[in-house]
Amino acid sequence: MTTKKVSKNTNKIVIDKIKQDWIVQGYEDTIGTPHIIIDNWYNEKELKAIWHELEFYNLQKNVIKANKTKDVAQDTKGNAKSNALRYYLDTFYTPFGQKISPILTSLYKQRSSQFKQIVKQAMPLHYRNFCVTNTDNTMVSYYDKGKYYKPHSDSLQFTCLIWLFKEPKKFKGGDLKLIPAKQTIECVSNRMLFFPSYLRHQVTKLSSDKKIPFGEGRYCITHFYNWEAINA
């Protein structure tokens, strides 16, 4: 199997009058595992606000364990494939609160014409399908020592992952493997990965010689995109 990199460039672009300093890599390959990697996904101002939001969640008592929610992928015996912590922003906030969440308000990036052009170049067969998606859902996952997510696929149309952790990095692992391509994508802070949800993928187990203080592990902000019929 060969993987073809179709683009890599540093884009100093402006979306809605907000400067972005993206490093873009688009991939396609012979067995159909197209994906896009963008480093520096959040700008400095956005990143600061999002870290404040994540630290607020750390103080909440309603963080859900992944293996206690029906929404996590399961094996044939009904066992959860992940033991990471997760919480769902769309149910956490009121409709008004969603408008002041730095994580949710940053969704303008994926809907921008600039991002759609990147999708069109790197994933031309999926461009139209992404453009017609009309719903999105967001969750935040937290992985520390021993946490993982076994091979699975997502039951929507497109998956967008954004990884964050505090420097210096206090763990090994937490990388994402695209199963069909046998490709491992390194967990880099402020890195975004976008791909069709049907691609099987997994998160490698986090390891560390020492206990990882809570909040200093691997965060993953996940946006799911789908198309749904809307009654007029």
Map out the domains of the chain as residue ranges.
3-226
**Which tokens go with 60?**
């909440």
* Positions of the chain with pLDDT under 70: 1-13, 17, 29-31, 61-62, 64-65, 67-68, 70, 231-232
Res 32: pLDDT: 74
User: What integer pLDDT is reported at residue 2 of this predicted model?
Assistant: 41
pLDDT of residue 49: 97
Distance in angstroms (rounded) separating the CA atoms of residues 218 and 12 = 27
Closest CA to 112 of 191, 18, 185: 18
Q: What is the pLDDT of residue 230?
A: 72
For the domain made up of 3-226, the CATH class stated in words is mainly beta
pLDDT value of position 1: 36
Res 4: pLDDT: 56
Instruction: Give the tens place of pLDDT for each residue, 24-65.
Output: 998 875 557 899 999 999 999 999 999 999 998 887 766 766
